[in-house]
Amino acid sequence: MAEAAPTVQLLSPDGVLQSDATAEQYRPYIDALSDEQLRQFHRDMVVTRRFDLEATNLQRQGQLALWPPSHGQEAAQVGSARAMRHQDHVFPSYREHAVAMIRGVDVVDIVRLMRGVTHGGWNPAERGNFHLYTLVLGSQALHAAGYAMGITFDGIATGDPETDEAVVVYFGDGATSQGDVSEALVFAASFQAPQVFFLQNNHWAISVPVSVQSRTPLYLRAGGFGIPGIQIDGNDVLASYAVTRKNLDEARAGDGPRMIEALTYRIGAHTTSDDPTKYRLSHELESWIARDPIVRYEAWLRSRGEGDAFFAETATEAEDFAADLRKRTLELTVPSTDRIFDHVYSESHPVMDGQKQWLADYEASLGAEG
Amino acid sequence: MSDESTELLDSVETPGGAEIPVNAEIPLSKALNAGLRKALGDDKRVLLMGEDIGPLGGVFRVTEGLQAEFGSSRVFDTPLAESGIVGTAIGLAMRGYRPVCEIQFDGFIFPAFDQITTQLAKMTNRHEGQVQMPVVIRVPYGGHIGAVEHHQESPEAYFAHTPGLRVVSPSTPNDAYWMIQEAIASNDPVMFFEPKSRYWNKGPVDLSSSAVPLHSSRVVRTGTEVTLVGHGAMVTVLLQAAELAAAEGTSVEVIDLRSISPIDYSPIIESVQKTGRLVVASEAPGFVSVSSEIAATVTERAFYSLEAPVLRVAAFDAPFPPAKLETSYLPDADRVLDAVDRALAY
Ligand SMILES: Cc1ncc(C[n+]2csc(CCOP(=O)(O)OP(=O)(O)O)c2C)c(N)n1
């Protein structure tokens, strides 16, 4: 069995910078950040929480088919996303809204997906290399491994972290049970691909607790694949940033894949279709609310002298972001039925052409009758 | 249906233990729940396994209350892996259990596709009959619920194409109640496709009569001019179409397929001998489909009775589109009627 290592935590739940040996090891990554960068982490988290709430409300008002909230997981997502370099590629699951926003995806595009007007629709190359959301659990882990293998095969790394590429895949504790995730770990290790497996262990896969998926801390599983694994306090944005930064830079430098398990919690429902009171206890939820990532970070920023003005400004920015999201959501239109047939193949296809024509004629005939 | 399950029940109990009077109208999901409950009660070797089926009772609440009643060694949440669910169900069947697996949504059957098609379907054949595979795989399927990608598909043809699997789909609470028990009683693997848009629709469950055979199709509306065939949620669409046709003076017969593999052709052939016209409808794409198979077979067996070519009304041969387009993608009563008119025009 792999050796257990301490969970990396740089900020305690009450917002005090830690000074144990593990924390000290990651301190230089934090010390290198400017005040503005540190403020940005807060902005990212606050804006994410606010638009997440807005999207949840939009769903309740019948505007979206579904919304999977990221509430509670902001630190894990913001820290890891801010640790990436611009050339990195991201293969998400379906809850990585903060990562998407930070990489340059228009949040309305995620809303479009959840509204049922697209299955994806953005071009990763124009959106910070943030690939499409993947709903079939674990599939994206292999895509990420393949992409990372391709980076290795290209052989263009120069040793400069500013240009050398790496890949991050996001997945949940439930998804770790999928064969695809294990296979991805095997492939990434076999080809020593520059890939970081970023696992958000939010403790629940819908109604199933993580104990059903694993009897060992999940980061220790990586060791069995020959991949270094590390566990972090996923509600600590500084730990998420520093540990991801270090591991990504090691991966891009040719040291092989890495796995990070971020311990966090899904504060909300699995999706707006779910009722978590059916299966989980309120005291567990409360204990995690007490470890809120935003509260903790705000306390630390204040202890460093950040004043009310910044926090008020951020709150306003979040309100504006949410209002804009709502406005643009309500403006979304239903795509034309051509969308059914377009892009099924990359080139013109006789069956698609024929059926598209049939539907057009059919709809015209209905119009004529009506 | 095995003999023991034909014994009459006085009532169906809801998971809470409350009794539903005989012939009460209950939703299809509750009828399945009652059928599963009966099977669990009748045979200790029956197991329910899947994702979120325990305390939550499944995302569609089909297994609600069953873990509380039968315990977590009979009804349990598995790790999140469909290949694992079906693969271990095979081993459990070898050990003498009768596993009933729940796959959460149609689109998530595919991680298990290998275990189902290369292992489960062939195990009896490879053992030359000396090992049997009484495994049921329940799959909520089909559209009309406005859901996101992978949650609205109709993949039953893949399984109908696989020798060794039995494939069925109930369309009413009564069929759901009886067919799930018959599927569990079968010594062969049964793919049990549940039309998820019908889960909430209520209907009577007739406890006083025993089940009709699992693999029989059934005339659900009689008519004389055109025969319509479909399964699952499509049956509702066909009945709507028949109603509309009647208003226009056309008499349409509707057949609920119920079983997709094997297909019970007798009622279909008999109907076509009467009407001379057949329209087969499905939510699945039409290319290489169950509908194609029926069209071919009916053409072979009843050619001289046909007044028109067998017509298919299907979803387009494109991926299931974003939900806002599903009503254009899936056949509705108007598209069925369009085919009825074309058949009559020959
Ligand atoms: C292959 C597959 N099986 C089942 C599902 C249905 N499903 C969607 S999310 C989910 C739970 C996922 O849990 P986890 O991986 O921990 O991620 P989280 O939702 O907690 O972020 C399930 C079972 C799916 N999307 N894909």
Phi, psi of B213 (to 5 degrees): -55, 145
Tell me the residues of chain B between 41 and 100 that have a Cβ less than 8 Å away from chain A. 51-52, 54-57, 59, 77-81, 83-84
The tokens describing A327, both together, are 């406005």
Nearest CA to B257 among B207, B309, B193, B316? B193
Chain A nearest-CA residue for B323: A116
Q: Give the distance (Å) from ligand 1 centre to CA of residue A319.
A: 30
B6 pLDDT band (50/70/90 cuts)? very low
Q: What is the pLDDT of residue B31?
A: 96
SS3 A169: strand
Contact B145, A116 (CB under 8 A): no
B259 beta partners = B168
B146 with B285, same domain?
A: no
Q: What is the pLDDT of residue A116?
A: 95
Q: Give the distance (Å) from ligand 1 centre to CA of residue A204.
A: 9
B212 domain-assigned: no
Beta strand B218-221 with B75-77 is: unpaired
Nearest CA to A118 among A357, A323, A327, A336? A336
Question: Is the per-residue pLDDT at B18 higher than 60?
Answer: no
B213 domain-assigned: no
B209 domain-assigned: no
Q: Which residues contact B346 (CB under 8 A, 6 or more apart)?
A: B277, B307, B308, B309
Instruction: Give the DSSP per-residue string, B269-314.
Output: HHHHHHHS-EEEEEEEESTT-HHHHHHHHHHHHHGGG-SS--EEEE
Note if the bond before A228 is cis, omega within 30 degrees: no
SS3 B224: coil
Q: What is the pLDDT of residue B233?
A: 98
- Give the count of beta carbons closer than 10 Å to the beta carbon of residue A333: 7
B71 domain-assigned: yes
Supply the pTM of this predicted model.
0.95
Q: What is the pLDDT of residue B207?
A: 85
B173 with B226, same domain?
A: no
The H helix count followed by the E strand count for chain A is 15, 7
Annotated active-site residue A266? The verdict is: yes
The owner of tokens 């659900």 is B220
B229 with B194, same domain?
A: no
Question: Is the per-residue pLDDT at B1 higher than 60?
Answer: no
Nearest CA to B167 among B189, B152, B184, B150? B189
Q: What is the pLDDT of residue B11?
A: 42
B153 with B87, same domain?
A: yes
B248 with B195, same domain?
A: no
- What's the CATH code of the domain at B112? 3.40.50.970
Write the pLDDT tens digit of every residue in A145-157: 999 999 999 999 9
Residue A158, burial from CB neighbour count under 10 angstroms (0-12, 13-18, 19+): exposed
B163 with B231, same domain?
A: no
Q: Do A179 and B55 touch (CB under 8 A)?
A: no
Nearest CA to B107 among B169, B168, B149, B137? B149
**Cβ contacts (< 8 Å) between A363 and chain B: which residues?**
328
A173 pLDDT band (50/70/90 cuts)? very high
B176 with B47, same domain?
A: yes
B114 domain-assigned: yes
- Higher-confidence residue of B234 and B6: namely B234
B160 with B259, same domain?
A: no
SS3 A101: helix
DSSP state of B15: T
Q: What is the pLDDT of residue B123?
A: 98
Instruction: Give the DSSP per-residue string, B125-139.
Output: HHTTTSS----EEEE
Beta strand B252-256 with B218-221 is: antiparallel
Question: What is d(CA B247, CA A118) in angstroms, rounded to the nearest whole number?
Answer: 38
| Sequence-ordered alpha helix ranges (H) in B143-281 | 156-160, 173-185, 234-247, 266-275
The amino acid that residue B203 corresponds to is: G
Question: What is d(CA A293, CA A72) in angstroms, rounded to the nearest whole number?
Answer: 7
Contact B31, B174 (CB under 8 A): yes
Q: Which residues contact A227 (CB under 8 A, 6 or more apart)?
A: A185, A188, A189, A197, A256, A257, A258, A259
Q: Which residues contact B316 (CB under 8 A, 6 or more apart)?
A: A340, A341, A355, A359, B285, B329
Q: Which of B180, B204, B228 is the last residue of a domain?
A: B204
Contact B166, B188 (CB under 8 A): yes
Instruction: Give the DSSP per-residue string, B38-94.
Output: HHHHH-TTEEEEESS-STT--TT-TTTTHHHHH-TTTEEEPPS-HHHHHHHHHHHHH
Question: What is d(CA B57, CA A283) in angstroms, rounded to the nearest whole number?
Answer: 22
Q: Which of B204, B230, B256 is the last residue of a domain?
A: B204
Whole-Å CA distances, B88 to A7, B70, B112, B119: 34, 20, 11, 11
Q: Do B316 and A137 touch (CB under 8 A)?
A: no
B317 domain-assigned: yes
Q: What is the percentage of chain A residues whose pLDDT exceeds 90? A: 96
Contact A178, B112 (CB under 8 A): no
Q: Give the distance (Å) from ligand 1 centre to CA of residue A83.
A: 26
Section A265-269 average pLDDT: 96
Cα radius of gyration rounded to whole Å, chain B: 20
A200 beta partners = A172, A262
Question: What is d(CA A41, CA A44) in angstroms, rounded to the nearest whole number?
Answer: 5
B13 pLDDT band (50/70/90 cuts)? very low
- Give the count of beta carbons closer than 10 Å to the beta carbon of residue B133: 25
Q: Do A117 and B322 touch (CB under 8 A)?
A: yes
Q: What is the pLDDT of residue A3?
A: 73
Helix (H) or strand (E) holding A26: helix A21-31
Contact A247, A34 (CB under 8 A): no
The tokens describing A304, both together, are 């460093």
Dmax over Cα atoms in chain A, in whole Å? 78
Dmax over Cα atoms in chain B, in whole Å? 60
Write the pLDDT tens digit of every residue in B69-89: 999 999 999 999 999 999 999
The owner of tokens 């809801």 is B14
Nearest CA to B107 among B136, B69, B143, B61? B143
The tokens describing A12, both together, are 């305690």
Write the pLDDT tens digit of every residue in B193-212: 999 999 999 999 988 777 79
Contact A80, A238 (CB under 8 A): no
Question: What is d(CA A285, CA B155) in angstroms, rounded to the nearest whole number?
Answer: 38
Annotated active-site residue B151? The verdict is: yes
Contact B50, B102 (CB under 8 A): yes
Q: What is the pLDDT of residue A243?
A: 98
B231 domain-assigned: yes
B155 with B40, same domain?
A: yes
The tokens describing B263, both together, are 């297909």
B21 pLDDT band (50/70/90 cuts)? low
Number of domains in chain B: 2
Contact A200, A170 (CB under 8 A): yes
Q: What is the pLDDT of residue A187?
A: 98
B144 with B229, same domain?
A: no
Chain A contacts to B (CB-CB under 8 A): 65-66, 113-119, 135-137, 174-180, 205-208, 212-213, 273-274, 278-279, 334-335, 337, 339-341, 344, 351-352, 355, 359, 362-363, 366
- What's the CATH code of the domain at B244? 3.40.50.920
SS3 B195: strand
Question: Is the per-residue pLDDT at B3 higher than 60?
Answer: no
Contact B223, B254 (CB under 8 A): yes
B210 domain-assigned: no
Question: Is the per-residue pLDDT at B10 higher than 60?
Answer: no
CA angle A332, A338, A343 (to 5 degrees): 100
**One of A97, A103, A270, A326 is an active-site residue; which one?**
A270
Q: Which of B177, B204, B231 is the last residue of a domain?
A: B204
Write the pLDDT tens digit of every residue in A77-134: 999 999 999 999 999 999 999 999 999 999 999 999 999 999 997 999 999 999 999 9
Task: Supply the residue whose CA is at minimum distance from atom 13 of ligand 1.
Answer: A205
Mean of all residue pLDDT scores within chain A: 96
Question: Is the per-residue pLDDT at B4 higher than 60?
Answer: no
Write the pLDDT tens digit of every residue in A216-235: 999 999 999 999 999 999 99
B323 with B235, same domain?
A: yes
The tokens describing A202, both together, are 């939010």
**Cβ contacts (< 8 Å) between B55 and chain A: which residues?**
207, 278-279
Q: What is the pLDDT of residue A369?
A: 62
Write the pLDDT tens digit of every residue in A12-48: 999 999 999 999 999 999 999 999 999 999 999 999 9
B122 with B248, same domain?
A: no
> What domain range includes position B24?
4-204
Question: What is d(CA B334, CA B332) in angstroms, rounded to the nearest whole number?
Answer: 5
